[in-house]
Amino acid sequence: MLLPYLRHYRRTLALGLGAMLLATGATRLIPWILKLAIDALRNGASMETVARLGGAMIAAGAVGGLFLYLQRWLLISTSRRVEYDLRRDLFSHLQRLDLDFFARQRTGDLMAHFTNDLNALRDVAGPGIMYAATTMVMLVLSISLMVAIDPLLTLLSFAPYPLISVVTFFFGRAMYYRSRRVQDLFGLLSSRVQEDLGGVRVVRAYNQETRCAQRFAELNDAYLAANMSVARLRGTFIAAMSALAGSGMAIALLIGGRQVIAGELSLGALVALSAYLAELTWPVIAIGWVIGMIQRGASAAGRIERIRRAAPRIVSGPRRTPPASRLCFEGVSFRYPDAEVEALHDISFELAVGQTLGITGRTGSGKSTILKLILRFHDPTAGRILLGGHDLRGRDIGEIRRMIGYAPQDGLLFSRPLIENIAYGDPDRPREAIQETLARVRLGEEVAEFPAGLATLVGERGLTLSGGQRQRVSLARALLLEPRLLLLDDTLASVDAETEAEILANLRGYVAERTAVIVSHRISAIRAADWILVLDEGRILEQGTHESLVGQGGLYARIHRRQQLAAEIEEVE
Amino acid sequence: MRGGGQLSGGGPGRGVATGARSYAVPEEHLGRIYDHSLMMRILRYLRPETARVLVAALLLILFSLTSLAGPLITRIGIDHYIANGDAAGLLRICLAWFALLLIGGGLQYAQIVTMNLIGQRTMMRLRQEIYRHLQRLPISFYDRHPVGRLMTRVTNDVEVLNQLFTQGVVAIIGDLVTLLGIMIVLLVMDARIAFVTFAMLPFLFWFSIAFRSRVRHAFRDVRLALARINAYLQENLGGIAVIKAFRREARNDAEFDELNTDHRDAFLRSVRAFAVYFPLVELTQSVAIALILWYGGGLVIQDGLTFGALVAFIQYVGRFFRPIRDLSEKYNILQDAMASSERIFALLDREPEPDAPTTSPYVEAFDPQAAIRFERVSFSYDGKTPVLQEVSCEIAPGTTTAIVGATGSGKTTMISLLARFYDPTAGVISIGGIDTRKVPRAVLRRRMAIVEQDVFLFAGTIADNMRLWEPGISKERLAEAVATSHADVLIRRLPRGWEHPVMERGGSFSTGERQLLAFARALAFDPEILILDEATASVDTETEALIQDALRNLLRERTSIVIAHRLSTIRRADQILVVHHGRILERGTHAELLAQGGLYARLYRLQFRGEAGRSEGLGQSVD
């Protein structure tokens, strides 16, 4: 999975690995120079020789430093670029998946792929590759040089080091499980706080503050214990590491010292060998560490690959010419995936260009679903939807959506300036058009009072809009597109009756010019429609014009009467 | 926020926030690094750990000293034994080294464990203090502060401080000891070479400071970019329907690319800093070794400096540099800890809700089985919009009072005031003539049970949720409560009965089922005063029948105040209060009010005419 991404940077990677080779090689020279210098000194060399060797050492350090810089820059930066590419592609891919996919996934889980899993992959692509390669080169070079100095001494003094790798690996595993427990408990702790604070009224009403605090304390104890078990493990590991690495040095001094005494080894060689040994500690630790990293990377790759393999089922048809806005449902039924009952059953109606359809019915009766099918968020399980006489499924999705203005039920806005929210579908709309639309939805005056007018940031970190304001912004967002087909999903539900009446009056001319489907709980919003459907459990219960439906005395008439009464009650002072 | 140092423009990821960059405004500033009074306050939390801190410091010093021994032993080995051909001596000193390594390992282990224990214990105390403090803050505080952010104070912010305790405060001692120890050893071995080595220090400091500031800025930008990416993802993955309807996919790709690029570039800046810093440190080290070799070599030739000393010098150089390198890390820990502790202390400094004294004549005279009176009670949540205006009413002991009215008329506020979730802005609520503010909340609430409209269930078992955590409620009493409230029918259906797990916020239970469970909970506490906010959501007919019957049992022989949506409850009430726009507009029995032909009559007509058997409610939004 990672390979195609890495391949894109193969030249940089090759250069980086080359730099790594040179950097490691150059720095391996330093202990050797040290050996030459000490032996030269022992043999009574001149200051000049020593100075020359010192100069050589600085040169080796400088060359090593330069290539180390190149190595780190080329290799690590590549991993950051790979991370960027992965994130970009993943987001782009996700945006194009069906709504069904999102219904099955929790946003939090998807976000975790973007953070944890991408991090794991990036770690493999950068530090993983770099440390794995460096360690190998280091080991090969250092051990060769050490063997060149003295094979037996190398063997004996290096003996504790493989142990370090093994310990690191097992430590990493044990650490992983214990850390998981800490993380789990941390999650538990967080959700406990969240629950106790979320249910603060119940806790107080039933006088359970002290007991909740006790329970929290118990959880705290467990959390402390888990943390301490990690600390003990880490303590053991760190202590064992320094002791093991130190023993290598001690062995070198003991055995090598004897050889020096026996005249089999020069003092300089002993010092150089110790120096090589000391520098091997980290690479040897890195082996165990890199293995764990690769394991994590592999499982992360699996999770991301699953998303990348998900393909949208709702795809564009071949016809690109924009269809006419004549809308026709022919025996449309629809069932959401995993649902047992149909959300819509055998819905048929026809809407000529410029006509308005009103839809009402109880919550869950399928009103919104009709709009979602027109938008091709889903395809019908039976029947067809025709736009301009052609089946939607044969059309380019972009072309269909381009002609639609949709105001969803929840009035979802984005955390950005108000103007960007209104011009969300077409950021290039002139300001006058925006002002005109704002006036149309009766937001003009309110916006003028916002701290920064149209530039006011809305959403979580900006100004908190009321439900009614949000809905009107959402409506404006749809109206601004001047679509040929307007879909309104209970768009004025949170707007007070008076404002609603004004907006409806403002919209009369606008709606008359285009085909519109208006879903509403409120009769007032749909009474002027050319045709009205009353839905119940996914079926058409009643249909007709407002007058004919009121005359029928059915559900529509009952709802109408109740709403009139409710309006009267509101007016009581 | 601290310092108030506003981010100034320039560079990607900063400046005026528009488009995708308006997601997540920076929460952190690069302001003051060190605030003495803040630090003192943090350190005060270490006081109960004084003994452990001393032990940890001692262990750390000892360990630092043992870790210094290696090069020194090498020196003795070379100069005293190898030079003199004393193999036995060499063995002795090497064995001593092994022993020292073992001791050092032990010391290090003990030190790490002690230090972590200090950190963990301190954190635990702090977490508990914050938690208890939160439990004492007024309900109105929770109306203004999202729970998620409060949770962060208890968890993440405390965790940041932990780093300060385990890796910061005491570890600095260790670094200083190591640094000082090496300096002394070097000076003792040979002052001249020591000074040559020290000559490298200014460079190293300089690199470290430059590096640290660069990395800090880069990481700050990284965090900001990441916060924006997350906020952007959260919103856009959640709002995917709007994105598709408005065909924003391509534009969003471009926007996301901006954030993604900011993130990558900020990271690349940090990568660059690291890539420059590490080689520089290595180079400095090589230069230092070369200098020691050159200068020391000269001394060996002319002044009889021993080889052992020369080697020891070279070996010390690496260790000398490490603590200095680590200092920059400590600096970041300190900075983070300052920011977190400031947020924590701001929360702890909030005044808890004042409460009446637990012993007073009022407490002794308090009788929950007496009449409840609202006398000209007014209330406003924000101090501006009145929610209740001069509400007066009397509720006789043992009777049921139903409150009816449209959504937003002030019904729920009335019961919130009675339970003292809030106190009235004007007027008095009394029970048996005693102002409820004169008795501690715990005393008042001990005799009350409240069932709210939106029933809150805790993660745990059914039994946990029934008795909450009250140990005084026996199994028998619980069984009785469950039977009376008909929750037993529901519990019997669950595979694991009493022990059936409840998910967070009671996920798998319907509104009606939650209501039944809440009834059982209220009954288990056997209150003298029952406060009930009936659920408005429609319930399946079977559960509805259970609820109706349970309600009859529940209200019997108790003073009850019910925000009623069910006709059956309303009809049975001894008194009905009709609330409209924060005032009591009408009061009386069902028959009286119907006869009056006022608002109640209209509400009744709206909701119940012709469908008295159905479970629809007054005040429910018309569907």
Digit-coded pLDDT (tens) for B177-210: 888 888 898 898 888 888 888 888 888 888 888 8
CB–CB of A205 and B239 under 8 A?
Answer: no
Residues of B in contact with A38 (CB under 8 A): 307, 310-311
Q: How many of the other CB atoms lie within 10 Å of CB of B476?
A: 8
CB–CB of A412 and B260 under 8 A?
Answer: no
Residue B249 lies inside a defined structural domain of this protein: yes
At residue B576, φ and ψ (nearest 5 deg) are -115, 130
- In a shared domain, residues B336 and B430: no
SS3 B584: strand
Residue B324 lies inside a defined structural domain of this protein: yes
Residues of B in contact with A274 (CB under 8 A): 74, 315
Average pLDDT score, chain A: 88
Query: A186 at the B interface (CB within 8 A)?
Result: yes
- In a shared domain, residues B341 and B359: no
Q: What is the least distance, in Å, from the CA of B456 to any CA of chain A?
A: 6
Average pLDDT score, chain B: 83
Residues of B in contact with A25 (CB under 8 A): none
- Indicate if the pLDDT at residue A231 is higher than 80: yes
The side-by-side arrangement of strands in the sheet containing A515-519 is A404-407, A485-489, A515-519, A356-361, A531-536, A539-544
- Mutation site, B226, B413, B469, B585, interface A, largest A CB count within 10 A: B469
Among A90-99, B285-294, B313-322, which stretch is predicted with the lowest mean pLDDT? B313-322
DSSP B80: I
Per-residue confidence band for B4, with pLDDT thresholds at 50, 70 and 90: very low
- Indicate if the pLDDT at residue B12 is higher than 50: no
Q: What is the mean pLDDT of residues A554-562?
A: 88
Query: Tokens 């968890």, residue?
Result: B155
Q: What angle do CA A302, A303, A307 make, to 5 degrees?
A: 110
- Mutation site, A123, A153, A416, interface B, largest B CB count within 10 A: A416
Which residue of B lies nearest to A481 if distances are taken between CA atoms?
A: B246
CB–CB of B456 and A559 under 8 A?
Answer: no
* Gyration radius (Cα) of chain B, Å: 36
SS3 B486: coil
Query: A362 at the B interface (CB within 8 A)?
Result: yes
Query: Tokens 């003028």, residue?
Result: A448
- B98-127 per-position pLDDT tens digit: 999 999 999 999 999 999 999 999 999 999
The rounded distance, in Å, linking the Cα atoms of A549 and B540 is 29
Per-residue confidence band for B545, with pLDDT thresholds at 50, 70 and 90: confident
Query: A96 at the B interface (CB within 8 A)?
Result: yes
The rounded distance, in Å, linking the Cα atoms of B106 and B98 is 12
- Indicate if the pLDDT at residue A229 is higher than 80: yes
- In a shared domain, residues B339 and B365: no
**Do B87 and A258 contact (CB within 8 A), yes or no?**
yes
Pick from A510, A518, A511: nearest CA to A492: A518
- Indicate if the pLDDT at residue B17 is higher than 50: no
The rounded distance, in Å, linking the Cα atoms of A526 and A548 is 14
- In a shared domain, residues B290 and B360: no
Beta strand pairing call for A515-519 and A485-489: parallel
* Tokens read off for B183: 């300096």
Beta strand pairing call for A356-361 and A531-536: parallel
Residue B319 lies inside a defined structural domain of this protein: yes
Q: What is the least distance, in Å, from the CA of B14 to any CA of chain A?
A: 15
CA atoms within 13 A on the CB side of A24: 27
The rounded distance, in Å, linking the Cα atoms of B252 and A425 is 11
What is the predicted pLDDT for the residue at B534? 80
Q: What angle do CA B54, B56, B59 make, to 5 degrees?
A: 110
- Indicate if the pLDDT at residue B15 is higher than 50: no
Per-residue confidence band for A573, with pLDDT thresholds at 50, 70 and 90: low
**Do B484 and B504 contact (CB within 8 A), yes or no?**
no
Q: At what angle do helices B87-136 and A160-198 cross, to 10 degrees?
A: 10
What is the predicted pLDDT for the residue at B7? 30
Q: Residues with Cβ < 8 Å from A432, sequence gap 6 or more? A: none
- Indicate if the pLDDT at residue A427 is higher than 80: yes
Query: Which of the given ranges, A284-293, A500-509, B74-83, B370-379, has the highest pLDDT on average?
Result: B370-379
What is the predicted pLDDT for the residue at B392? 94
Report the share of chain A in percent with pLDDT over 90.
Answer: 37
Per-residue confidence band for A562, with pLDDT thresholds at 50, 70 and 90: confident
- B52-90 per-position pLDDT tens digit: 989 998 998 898 888 888 888 888 888 888 888 888 999
- Given B278, B313, B348, the domain boundary residue is B348
Query: Tokens 């000193």, residue?
Result: B93
Residues of A in contact with B311 (CB under 8 A): 38, 271
The maximal CA–CA distance of chain B, rounded, in angstroms, is 122
CB–CB of A238 and B108 under 8 A?
Answer: yes
Q: What is the ipTM of this complex?
A: 0.84
Between positions 465 and 524 of B, the ones with CB within 8 A of A are 468-471, 504-505, 521
- In a shared domain, residues B145 and B256: yes
Residues of A in contact with B419 (CB under 8 A): 204-205
Residue B255 lies inside a defined structural domain of this protein: yes
At residue B390, φ and ψ (nearest 5 deg) are 45, 55
Q: What angle do CA B58, B61, B63 make, to 5 degrees?
A: 105
CB–CB of A562 and B606 under 8 A?
Answer: yes
Query: Tokens 């404006």, residue?
Result: A476
- In a shared domain, residues B339 and B361: no
Domain count, chain B: 2
Q: Residues with Cβ < 8 Å from A204, sequence gap 6 or more? A: B139, B419, B421, B441, B445
Q: b/e for B51-70, b at 16 or more Cβ within 10 A? A: ebbebbbebbbbbbebbbbb
Using alpha carbons, list the distances in angstroms from residue B372 to B257, B358, B431, B530, B533: 63, 21, 4, 12, 18
CATH number at residue B77: 1.20.1560.10
Per-residue confidence band for B420, with pLDDT thresholds at 50, 70 and 90: very high
- B119-151 per-position pLDDT tens digit: 999 999 999 999 999 988 998 888 877 777 788
- In a shared domain, residues B282 and B417: no
- Indicate if the pLDDT at residue B549 is higher than 60: yes
- In a shared domain, residues B217 and B259: yes
Residue B412 lies inside a defined structural domain of this protein: yes
The side-by-side arrangement of strands in the sheet containing B388-395 is B388-395, B372-379, B426-431, B434-435
CB–CB of B287 and A249 under 8 A?
Answer: no
What is the predicted pLDDT for the residue at B610? 45
Residue bearing the bigger pLDDT, B289 or B540: B289
What is the predicted pLDDT for the residue at A521? 85
What is the predicted pLDDT for the residue at A373? 94
Among A191-195, B274-278, B465-469, B606-610, which stretch is predicted with the lowest mean pLDDT? B606-610
Residue B402's DSSP bridge partners are: B562, B576
Residues of B in contact with A377 (CB under 8 A): 241, 244-245
- In a shared domain, residues B372 and B237: no
Q: Residues with Cβ < 8 Å from B262, sequence gap 6 or more? A: B12, B13, B21, B221, B225, B228
Residues of A in contact with B272 (CB under 8 A): 73, 77
Residue B517 lies inside a defined structural domain of this protein: no
- Indicate if the pLDDT at residue B541 is higher than 90: no
SS3 A485: strand
Residue B328 lies inside a defined structural domain of this protein: yes
What is the predicted pLDDT for the residue at A546? 95
* Gyration radius (Cα) of chain A, Å: 36
Residue A319's DSSP bridge partners are: A395
The rounded distance, in Å, linking the Cα atoms of A309 and A311 is 6
What is the predicted pLDDT for the residue at A303? 87
CB–CB of B73 and A253 under 8 A?
Answer: yes
Which residue of A lies nearest to B531 if distances are taken between CA atoms?
A: A205
- A164-209 per-position pLDDT tens digit: 878 878 888 888 888 888 888 888 888 888 888 888 888 888 888 8
**Do A538 and A342 contact (CB within 8 A), yes or no?**
yes
Query: B452 at the A interface (CB within 8 A)?
Result: yes
- In a shared domain, residues B66 and B124: yes
* Tokens read off for A44: 């009574």
Between positions 166 and 205 of B, the ones with CB within 8 A of A are none
Residues of A in contact with B523 (CB under 8 A): none
- In a shared domain, residues B186 and B312: yes
Between positions 282 and 341 of A, the ones with CB within 8 A of B are none
Residue A543's DSSP bridge partners are: A533
What is the predicted pLDDT for the residue at B299? 84
Residue B282 lies inside a defined structural domain of this protein: yes
Q: Residues with Cβ < 8 Å from B281, sequence gap 6 or more? A: B204, B207, B321, B325
Q: Where are the alpha helices (DSSP H) in A199-208?
A: 200-205
DSSP of A45-56, one letter per residue? Answer: --HHHHHHHHHH
Query: A15 at the B interface (CB within 8 A)?
Result: no
Query: A73 at the B interface (CB within 8 A)?
Result: yes
Find the Cα–Cα–Cα–Cα dihedral B402, B408, B409, B411, rounded to 10°.
Answer: 30
What is the predicted pLDDT for the residue at A460? 62
CB–CB of A205 and B419 under 8 A?
Answer: yes
What is the predicted pLDDT for the residue at B32? 52
The rounded distance, in Å, linking the Cα atoms of A233 and B243 is 49
- Indicate if the pLDDT at residue B607 is higher than 80: no
Residue B165's DSSP bridge partners are: none
CATH number at residue B438: 3.40.50.300
- Given B331, B348, B365, the domain boundary residue is B348
Among A146-160, A347-361, A532-546, B162-176, which stretch is predicted with the lowest mean pLDDT? B162-176
What is the predicted pLDDT for the residue at B574? 92
What is the predicted pLDDT for the residue at B538? 60
CB–CB of B91 and A569 under 8 A?
Answer: no
- B212-223 per-position pLDDT tens digit: 888 888 888 888
Helix, strand and coil percent figures for chain B, each rounded to 5? 65, 10, 25
Determine the structural domain holding residue B577 and report its residue range: 355-398+405-447+564-623
- In a shared domain, residues B48 and B178: yes
What is the predicted pLDDT for the residue at B446? 87
Which residue of B lies nearest to A377 if distances are taken between CA atoms?
A: B241
What is this structure's pTM? 0.76
- Given B348, B366, B381, the domain boundary residue is B348
- B429-439 per-position pLDDT tens digit: 999 999 999 99
What single-letter amino acid sits at B152? T
